[in-house]
Structure 1
Amino acid sequence: MDNKLKQQLHTKSKTAKYEQRGKLASIMMLVLIMVVVLGIIGFILIKGTSMFFNDKIKISDFLFSTFWNPGGKTPTGNPAVGALPMIVGSFSVTLLAALVATPFAVGTAIYMTELSSKRGAGVLQVVTELLVGIPSVVYGFIGLTVVVPAVRHLFGGSGFGILAGTIVLFVMILPTIVSMTVDALKSVPNHYRQASLALGATQWQTIWKVVLRSASPGILTAVVFGMARAFGEALAVQMVIGNAALMPHNLVSPSATLTSVLTAGMGNTVMGSLQNNALWSLALLLLLMSLFFNLLIHLIGRKGAFKK
């Protein structure tokens, strides 16, 4: 009996076996995800730097030259692989879209969490989720048929340009910022509001001085997240910005972004050629910007956690 009892005590139960298998499966999935992510980053890094090592293109010429015609030459005789027009175009539409979307998103989130009834907040939540689910090509088609003609009528020119891209991206990133801002406002403890009101503050003073300040790290995270999506958006922007790899002189002159040039050119180049390598360098630049946005979100989150 003693030996049988000892054997039973040392034998793992079914629950323990299932738990061990679950942990093993989770670790395997985690390792697989890490391998895939590192593989993608390594592949883009190798392909994106081949232009600098194999074709002997200077990084300064790639980042600061304004001539983009891979395979051609600049007036000085250097390869025309300057990405500055697309960099300026990408940052312009991203920053302007975030600048326009942030007040609308914060105002909507405040109404949904602080002022609206549960029914009204539920309706706005449904509308926000509906905007998130609309495909990018639909936004681009609406921009092509509505926004571009409106810009052409109001400001002249062709209608294609940074302004049209900003308007389309504003609508696209608005629901993302709204949803994350709502979560940030809801995370503020109710006793903060109650203490402020008990001290004699009005509802708007409480919202402005207490709620928004407490939720500021979450709101900043929402804005940066929206900017990251805007920076990486390709199809919708490509349909309304004009796809002209030229330095933009104003908001209504045709321009281009990193993603629009990649989308338009990747299928028209030969693997290993300078044209193809230049596009991979643009992809590497996009990857670095994505990592930068993720790092910025992480730093803002850590700052907010430290404050709490």
Structure 2
Amino acid sequence: MDPIREKIQSKSRETRQELTGKILTYTCIGIIVAVVLSIFAFVASKGIATFTENNASLKQFLTGTDWMPTSNGKDGRPLVGALPMIVGSFGVTILAALIATPFAIGTALYMTEIATKKGRNVLQIVIELLVGIPSVVYGFIGLNVVVPFVRNHFGGSGYGILSGAFVLFVMVLPTVTSLTVDSLRAVPKHYKAASLALGATEWQTIYKVILRSALPGILTAVIFGMARAFGEALAVQMVIGNASLMPTSLLSPASTLTSVLTMGIGNTVMGTVGNNALWSLALVLLLMSLVFNILVKWIGKRGKM
């Protein structure tokens, strides 16, 4: 064959590099997908064992209030009522999000619309410091500061959903604030210019134009913060009281899915009813993380319409 023709038809170095890059990229993507699917399959297989092997009732698991996996009820089925933990998890998560959202929006507005460059840099450092603090440190602070504060000003023992929400509020604040800042900065600059040109004041422009335009992103930030709070274990465990009882108020000791998991997983034997019940709680946590992700995707699509 003609050498010139052979050189033209052969793959160049750039083509081989591109092919190698595609192979590496798709291989990494395949590994990530396989790992995620494997995690879901593993947790699901362990979680449903409570109902397939130990004959627990799914309805009783979701609506029951008695958590005694080693005991059986009158029907002979294990007492694995997870409703108190589910209520506790949602209680601290929703309350923490309600407290954190106004602070996060106010901080984000200050950083994007009001603060000088120096002020923005200082706040950015503070937010990054909050992110870097370990969960156990938050738990110790909650144990020594938040619990006595709640006990002295609201009554009760100090352990409960309210204390857990205060601790989670500080923990999710950096996440919600950072994502809200990104959402506000993504609002086109000409929106603000047009509003001011029409005679609106600075605060009218912020409220009527900027916040409303950034609303889908702000809601996404709140959902991400709730997902972060829902999966937190150690810090909440130290201040919530860890009582597997249906909470009667924000001040009564309670428990969450994560606190029961972290306390009980080391005290059970693989394959027993107690261990399978804990895996069922883990499956609920995994499904809730999936729900949070679906909500984020749905809000994002609605914001683009």
Task: Give TM-score scaled by structure 2 length.
Answer: 0.98
The one-letter code of the counterpart of 1:33 is I
**Structure 2 counterparts to residues 224-243 of structure 1, below 5 A:** 224-243=223-242
The one-letter code of the counterpart of 2:269 is V
Alpha-carbon distance in 2 for matches of 1:203, 1:195: 12
Does the residue aligned with 2:243 lie in a helix, a strand or coil?
coil
Query: Could you give the per-residue CA deviations for residues 46-77 of structure 1, whole angstroms, max 9, x where no partner exists?
Result: 11001111111110000000001111234776
Alpha-carbon distance in 2 for matches of 1:70, 1:226: 32
Matched with 1:218 is 217
Q: How far apart are residue 39 of structure 1 and its match?
A: 0.4
**Structure 2 counterparts to residues 1-40 of structure 1, below 5 A:** 3-40=2-39
More deviation, 213-222/73-82? 73-82
Q: How far apart are residue 155 of structure 1 and its match?
A: 2.2
Q: How far apart are residue 125 of structure 1 and its match?
A: 0.8
Identity %: 62
Aligned pair 1:264/2:279, yes or no? no
Matched with 2:141 is 142
Alpha-carbon distance in 1 for matches of 2:74, 2:12: 77
The answer as to whether partners of 2:57 and 2:77 remain within 8 angstroms in 1 is: no
Matched with 2:188 is 189
After TM superposition, what 4+ stretches of structure 1 lie above 2 angstroms from structure 2?
A: 73-79
More deviation, 88-97/12-21? 12-21
Q: How far apart are residue 12 of structure 1 and its match?
A: 1.6
Does the residue aligned with 2:238 lie in a helix, a strand or coil?
helix
Alpha-carbon distance in 1 for matches of 2:90, 2:112: 32
The answer as to whether partners of 2:62 and 2:83 remain within 8 angstroms in 1 is: yes
Matched with 1:255 is 254
Q: How far apart are residue 150 of structure 1 and its match?
A: 1.3
Alpha-carbon distance in 1 for matches of 2:237, 2:75: 30
Q: How far apart are residue 138 of structure 1 and its match?
A: 0.7
**Structure 2 counterparts to residues 50-61 of structure 1, below 5 A:** 50-61=49-60
Task: Point out where structure 2 has 5 or more consecutive residues left out of the alignment.
Answer: none
The answer as to whether partners of 2:54 and 2:78 remain within 8 angstroms in 1 is: no
Query: Could you give the per-residue CA deviations for residues 239-264 of structure 1, whole angstroms, max 9, x where no partner exists?
Result: 11011000111111110000000000
Alpha-carbon distance in 1 for matches of 2:269, 2:93: 30
Matched with 2:118 is 119
Alpha-carbon distance in 1 for matches of 2:206, 2:2: 69
Alpha-carbon distance in 1 for matches of 2:138, 2:304: 36
Alpha-carbon distance in 2 for matches of 1:74, 1:273: 17
Matched with 1:108 is 107
Matched with 1:156 is 155
Q: How far apart are residue 156 of structure 1 and its match?
A: 2.5
Q: For the aligned residues, what is the CA RMSD?
A: 1.1
Matched with 2:176 is 177
Task: Give TM-score scaled by structure 1 length.
Answer: 0.97
Does the residue aligned with 2:48 lie in a helix, a strand or coil?
helix
Alpha-carbon distance in 2 for matches of 1:180, 1:300: 14
Does the residue aligned with 1:105 lie in a helix, a strand or coil?
helix
Alpha-carbon distance in 1 for matches of 2:153, 2:212: 39
Q: How far apart are residue 14 of structure 1 and its match?
A: 1.5
Alpha-carbon distance in 2 for matches of 1:157, 1:219: 35
Alpha-carbon distance in 2 for matches of 1:75, 1:171: 44
Aligned length: 305
Q: How far apart are residue 78 of structure 1 and its match?
A: 4.5
Matched with 1:208 is 207
Alpha-carbon distance in 2 for matches of 1:230, 1:75: 36
The one-letter code of the counterpart of 1:26 is T
More deviation, 121-130/212-221? 121-130
The answer as to whether partners of 1:67 and 1:74 remain within 8 angstroms in 2 is: no
Alpha-carbon distance in 1 for matches of 2:64, 2:153: 32
The one-letter code of the counterpart of 2:29 is L
The one-letter code of the counterpart of 1:231 is F
The one-letter code of the counterpart of 2:127 is T
Query: Could you give the per-residue CA deviations for residues 14-38 of structure 1, whole angstroms, max 9, x where no partner exists?
Result: 2221111111001111101111110
Does the residue aligned with 1:240 lie in a helix, a strand or coil?
coil
Does the residue aligned with 1:201 lie in a helix, a strand or coil?
coil
Matched with 1:245 is 244
Does the residue aligned with 1:70 lie in a helix, a strand or coil?
strand
Aligned pair 1:303/2:302, yes or no? yes
